[in-house]
Structure 1
């Protein structure tokens, strides 16, 4: 079957029950079952809070939830990648941090993930009011298709008498008081005060030198994208420019804002408010180019460098010219060093400039990396980290050291680097002179950034909603070494030839967009690279025959797929177009009786 042809009509499949050892969040303590949801259109969102693509989907679902709140229930199933994400309190925190306004099932052992045969974060499964699965979508960009499908389900089940209108099971948690709520990044201002991105409250907060007293708040506290009054949407990174202006990574607005500490004025300097998709411009007038979840910013090499977490790249913004452009990364997710335009990143989330180096906390690979300047050329190197699936807390030689999803990095006076090792709740140190990694402090509860203050370092303890001042110790704290690999079970595949098929069915009312050439793209690689004897690389077909090398018995297949579809209406001269994309990391084990075909669903299973 051609991967892009319409899927055959299927027998109706009952949705498996929703079970998870961690229990339910946002239900007022009630345990939900599918029977409780009968009569509603149900969108099951499999997500994990480390994943920026999952966060994009949370934002995509907000409008659907609001528009169809009397007929449709979104259920989040939290399915962890990292060990820290299996902690129940961490999931509770993430639900509040990202303002998830629907019930969430905490599934630390991936029980429901396995029952629904999910392979990727994020994945959306649609269940009709009678409890049958009608569609599955992996990745981002499916909001339009979901909107249309939900509308059709409403009409069909209204006519059948099987639609139940009314409030859903969501119960809002009690609001919590405090000066900060899940702060993201911090900046030391010239006057000795601290500017903090109060992420969940959509504000910037200036604190006195004690790191506690609030001097002023910037922004109304409402999610938005305006200058007067100032509104932000989950702001993160902050960078001080030579002229005293502060650049703000306004993450969920996909924009950079400029804040003037002297006047309090806020203006937009880069981004349109729309999310960047494959095929969008990668350079040009800063106000006319889309960005994607900028997470941190730093002044380096006479530019503002941007950790563009949403597309696994580094971009730059030139304030003098008013332009932006891609500086490093290909949008492929992984860990590949080399020339900047060939390197791979995985959700870069922290930046710190030091001389001719820009340090990068590359969170999804649990890595510390750097960009090195050589004249006008830039090269990407890795100090600590091996790839997407290895993480832990291990000190010692950098080649063996491990982090767990670090979000912040700070250049220290002696030339070493402090790393906010977020999911290990620790502050770590890497010394380039010795190649050694040590632990400076533990029990810091999701540290996400740190700034220097004299002989102290001030750490943003995001999940404790505060800044914590530490004296930089002369000796590191000793901790027991722990190493982990991603918890997902490996898919057993047969040796030799393996047929990879990415299944994509254009949503109802849409067709593949072929006006400007191929509308699909497939990129395949592996860890280790020796796993694939043939089939790696990029092509437009969503179906490819891979050849597994003799002697390599396990590894990870990295698959990135994209498909573009447009509204199929001949009378519409300017049809709306939509991009669907997803990256998979599929652990595989080669066995004699393994499968010879590996199907991955980008969009399909629609039997409606």
Structure 2
């Protein structure tokens, strides 16, 4: 049965001259991209779709439907900044109340829905890796609709916003330089795709390009720099590389990554959105945000290794190989500890003695602004962490626009500064350790804050407004997947699919957890636990149908974190679309 696409409803529109409707776009294909700007997978999809948008510039209109997870993401000013920051070059519907999200029964960020020129839904996909499938489907459908006379190509409704010229544009991180290096600060200037050297007065000394949204920088010890021939390391997030940088000359070299995003089954020659780098325990540590892992790089040998994390997204402490992370964003070495700002779980965590520990944070969907005992305290998507002289930890609580202070010994959280524009990193002023220099990303500047007395904020607590799914205790889980046109599921060399099911809390699942190759599974939930988050990770490989052993194969993958509530007589089936018509 053909399904008519629901109308596009929300608070307003960006990147276009006025409101749009599906009726306005009749005669062209419409691809709806349900996204939220905190989500690294959504940012990956923005890049994946660019070639498709170019290929079908006249036949296809891509519309981003922004469906926020965090309170801050519902702020229209913050959304406008994110649309500029991430180079979104198509219209965006602002859907803060998830009206259109629910009309299309989206369950995951990102979700893609293709609507044909007659206004009917023809395909739905969840997660990453579907651009080639959409391309193949359009290659099949465009000629059909052209022959039927239902396709009416036209110009894009995209209207570019005006962009203010500033020395820095969405700076993400900064480190002070030692004397004699020709400048005072090294800045990862993500919005300009550059690393910038500033002098002590903040004037630009040198711009070093060749990056794509670099989000992290660190300096190597002088003796290591002399040995390897570069003195700084750059996390090139959208470029999926880690670079070595010689600050005095601006010379760069690739240390890790081939520029292609890592997908399941790839080797460590590929990376996935490295967000930060830090020197700790004689290695460069990498916050691999796109994989929810920590990696290491030995600058002397070039060896790359996975240090922690399973690639599952969530908050789970324990041995490094078993821990779960969620878009780790910033790293701060502190003796035998490595502090971590784990953004999607709104958590402050650390690595020590081969294990991961959490100080503040409780899960993917719980966040807020609350000071007090650390077991009750709350952040909202923190991106920065800095060790202070007294051993306490400053956290750039990005989506709360604040810098918070964690007294680790006392187990208390307080607030140092508020009303900042997305603080994303900070460092201590070498000339005055009583001053914290904060990278105020959305204000495009570095801001100085005195480390004075902290205040206590009652603030708020919040659980994401994403709808909770009522389910029965016995649940048949089905992941739907159909290969793109011209491809098939190829299992000649082993299973082409994988399904992993876990839960938070773990006691929610009585049975059916763990890893398997079938995309269907019967799981049993505990009514006594009542509610929690079902973590489902699925992947499927498809290959060219007529390519033989040399067939090109592609991976489709998605992680779902689904808030569920066990109710009597609840539905006994949960269907999640990985991809297909």
Match of 1:183 in 2: 171
Q: CA contact under 8 A between 2:315 and 2:364: conserved in structure 1?
A: yes
Matches of 2:172 and 2:544, distance apart in 1: 39
The equivalences for 1:58-73 within 5 A come to 58-73=46-61
Q: CA contact under 8 A between 2:530 and 2:565: conserved in structure 1?
A: yes
Match of 1:120 in 2: 108
Match of 1:464 in 2: 443
The one-character-per-residue Cα deviations of 1:209-228 (angstroms, maximum 9, x if unpaired) are 23x32122111xxxxxxxxx
Matches of 1:349 and 1:501, distance apart in 2: 33
Match of 2:251 in 1: 265
Match of 1:421 in 2: 397
How far 1:537 moved relative to its partner?
1.1
Match of 1:25 in 2: 14
The equivalences for 1:3-82 within 5 A come to 11-21=1-11, 23-28=12-17, 30-82=18-70
Matches of 2:518 and 2:205, distance apart in 1: 57
SS at match of 1:96: helix
Q: CA contact under 8 A between 2:218 and 2:277: conserved in structure 1?
A: yes
Matches of 2:401 and 2:417, distance apart in 1: 9
The one-character-per-residue Cα deviations of 1:488-510 (angstroms, maximum 9, x if unpaired) are 1111112x311111111111211
Match of 2:221 in 1: 242
The one-character-per-residue Cα deviations of 1:77-122 (angstroms, maximum 9, x if unpaired) are 0000011111111111110000000000000000000000000000
Q: CA contact under 8 A between 1:99 and 1:200: conserved in structure 2?
A: no
Q: CA contact under 8 A between 1:359 and 1:368: conserved in structure 2?
A: yes
SS at match of 1:56: helix
2:222 is the alignment partner of 1:233: no
Matches of 2:493 and 2:184, distance apart in 1: 53
Q: CA contact under 8 A between 2:527 and 2:566: conserved in structure 1?
A: no
2:371 is the alignment partner of 1:395: yes
The equivalences for 1:587-606 within 5 A come to 587-604=563-580, 606=581
The one-character-per-residue Cα deviations of 1:468-517 (angstroms, maximum 9, x if unpaired) are 011111x21232321000111111112x3111111111112111131331
Matches of 2:458 and 2:440, distance apart in 1: 22
Matches of 1:515 and 1:322, distance apart in 2: 34
Match of 1:131 in 2: 119
How far 1:173 moved relative to its partner?
0.9
TM-score with structure 2 setting the length: 0.96
Match of 1:574 in 2: 550
The one-character-per-residue Cα deviations of 1:14-70 (angstroms, maximum 9, x if unpaired) are 11000112x000003x00000111111111000000000000000001111112111
The one-character-per-residue Cα deviations of 1:183-202 (angstroms, maximum 9, x if unpaired) are 11111111261111111211
The one-character-per-residue Cα deviations of 1:156-195 (angstroms, maximum 9, x if unpaired) are 1111112122311000111211111111111111126111
How far 1:550 moved relative to its partner?
3.5
TM-score with structure 1 setting the length: 0.92
Gaps of 5+ in 2: 226-230
Cα RMSD of the aligned pairs, angstroms, is 1.1
How far 1:310 moved relative to its partner?
0.2
How far 1:554 moved relative to its partner?
1.6
The runs of at least 4 consecutive aligned structure 1 residues that moved more than 3 Å come to none
How far 1:592 moved relative to its partner?
2.0
SS at match of 1:551: coil
Matches of 2:509 and 2:529, distance apart in 1: 9
Question: Would you say how many aligned residue pairs link Structure 1 and Structure 2?
Answer: 568
Matches of 1:478 and 1:382, distance apart in 2: 21
Match of 2:290 in 1: 310
SS at match of 2:160: coil
SS at match of 1:476: coil
Matches of 1:92 and 1:179, distance apart in 2: 20
Match of 1:109 in 2: 97
Match of 1:505 in 2: 482
Match of 1:492 in 2: 470
Match of 2:460 in 1: 482
How far 1:574 moved relative to its partner?
1.1
The one-character-per-residue Cα deviations of 1:508-548 (angstroms, maximum 9, x if unpaired) are 21111313311111111112222111111111111111111
Match of 2:228 in 1: none
Matches of 1:392 and 1:540, distance apart in 2: 38
Matches of 1:363 and 1:322, distance apart in 2: 28
Q: CA contact under 8 A between 2:372 and 2:456: conserved in structure 1?
A: no
Matches of 1:602 and 1:188, distance apart in 2: 45
Match of 2:80 in 1: 92
SS at match of 1:35: coil
Matches of 2:95 and 2:152, distance apart in 1: 27
Matches of 1:321 and 1:216, distance apart in 2: 30
Matches of 1:413 and 1:425, distance apart in 2: 23
The equivalences for 1:203-352 within 5 A come to 203-210=194-201, 212-219=202-209, 231-243=210-222, 244=225, 245-282=231-268, 289-352=269-332
SS at match of 1:153: helix
Match of 2:503 in 1: 526
Matches of 2:274 and 2:490, distance apart in 1: 28
2:416 is the alignment partner of 1:446: no
Matches of 2:119 and 2:384, distance apart in 1: 43
Matches of 1:504 and 1:140, distance apart in 2: 13
